[in-house]
Amino acid sequence: MGNRKVLIANRGEIACRIMHSCRQLGVSTVAVFSEADREAMHVQLADEAVFVGAAPARESYLRVDAILDAARRTGANAVHPGYGFLSENADFAAAVQDAGLIWIGPAPACIAAMGDKERARQIADAAGVPVLPGSRRFEPHDLDGLEEEARRLEYPLLVKAAAGGGGIGMRRVDRESDLHQAVQATQSMAAKAFGDGSVYLEHYVSSARHVEVQVFGYGDGSGVHLFDRDCSVQRRFQKVVEEAPAPGIPGEVRDVLYRSALSLVRAQKYSGAGTVEFVFDRHRERAWFLEMNTRIQVEHPVTELITGIDLVGWQLEQAFGSLQRVPQEAIRASGHAVECRLYAERPEKGFLPSPGPLEELRWPEESDGLRIDTGVREGDRVTPYYDPMIAKLAAWGVDRSAAIHRLERALAELKLSGLRTNAEFLRRVLGDDDFLQSRVDTGLAMAVLERYVTR
């Protein structure tokens, strides 16, 4: 790739993951770090590292000026945002490009369009993608017609941040008497998390599964899909177990998902890695568009395990003009992969974060069928400032049963002390009869938790 240098505008395991692909391609790396991360793993692995501010993210990892200054000072010519933080911030992407740097991601206009959930729904509908019934946008202090829209959509429903994602601030409402409180709470959370307090209502699908399609666009309206994933095992609307491919999806529904995802790629002339998310009603066997994430996903390892494709490597090669396009028919899936997110948290206390020292940390031995993505080592601390994820463990098998068994064994072999984790909870999910029989939906994790806490 010649003389290339990428600044990674992130931290933790995703920063380390991006560095792995950079090393494979001979690309130099620049890390940024906060006061809390001076000795962090991603800082040690980078070729260069630049301090960008105090521990709170808003004073470091969310500081566009500090990140761009770090790129200028180190001579970086490209920026990879990872996920979270500034990864879906269209203004940041534009600022990177205005500074004469390569933005490793889709065009700012695509990020803005898909980041506005109401607008994304309109684009999807125009592209012929089935869209779940929803309301107009309700700005802060503008609730005119709220009750009428809720009745039209029918209870239960979800209140969702129009500018957000990742389940942040999302609330389920089962009755009209709870509507205003849920809307106001979501608006407040959205304003803090995204700088935009607007929300919208969406019909809630019970017995729902969260199924998504990994896409990669070539920027000219063409692109490919890399099959699908199931991310239904969630706590607080955030994923904890993911797998590829999604089990038990009828072939005709899977075809609709792929066509729909690629129609969005065409409609936007999308460039790079992205994920089109759907809600699937497992009883009615119908799927509707939820949103599109314009970045690499946390759960991308399961797709890489079944396809053998380095998605981050593709991102880098595309950014530097060396990506060889791969036709759809050349992309094949083999076997099954399951991933779980290991968090420093207490499931029995409502998944309350549990920061602290990693006094002992011994990973199971990695192999061709087991992958561990982490940004911490023995002796490090999980701080209260950032997401408390310790690692992602992903296992591949010739079939779903083999992948689950390998992942269960890896969790059993894990040695970790000094703080509380969700490891035992994850083992209970993987061993749950409904999960083993592919009877998954977004309520499964909480059902397992109830049994786990009251055992």
From residue 247, alpha-carbon distances to 137, 230, 336 in Å are 34, 7, 9
Burial of 159 (0-12, 13-18, 19+ CB in 10 A): buried
295 in catalytic set: yes
d(C-alpha 140, C-alpha 194), whole Å: 13
Scored b (16 or more CB within 10 A) or e, 372-403 reads bbbbbeeebbbbebbbbbbbbbbbbbeebebb
The answer to whether residues 214 and 300 touch, using CB atoms and an 8 Å cutoff, is yes
- Please identify which of the residues 229, 295, 341, 428 carries the catalytic annotation: 295
CB-based contacts of 22: which residues, under 8 Å, 6+ apart?
A: 6, 28, 29, 316
Tokens of 105: 């991601």
- Tell how many helices (H) and how many strands (E) occur in the chain: 15, 22
H/E run at residue 181: helix 179-194
The answer to whether residues 6 and 24 touch, using CB atoms and an 8 Å cutoff, is no
CB-based contacts of 142: which residues, under 8 Å, 6+ apart?
A: none
Q: Say how many C-beta atoms besides its own lie within 10 A of residue 418's C-beta.
A: 17
Place of tokens 């083992």: 427
Question: Helix (H, G, I), strand (E, B), or coil: what is residue 322?
Answer: coil
Nearest to 340 by CA among 267, 250, 435, 248: 435
Tokens of 430: 């993987």
d(C-alpha 53, C-alpha 373), whole Å: 26
d(C-alpha 235, C-alpha 443), whole Å: 8
CB-based contacts of 249: which residues, under 8 Å, 6+ apart?
A: 211, 228, 257, 280
Q: Which residues are catalytic?
A: 295
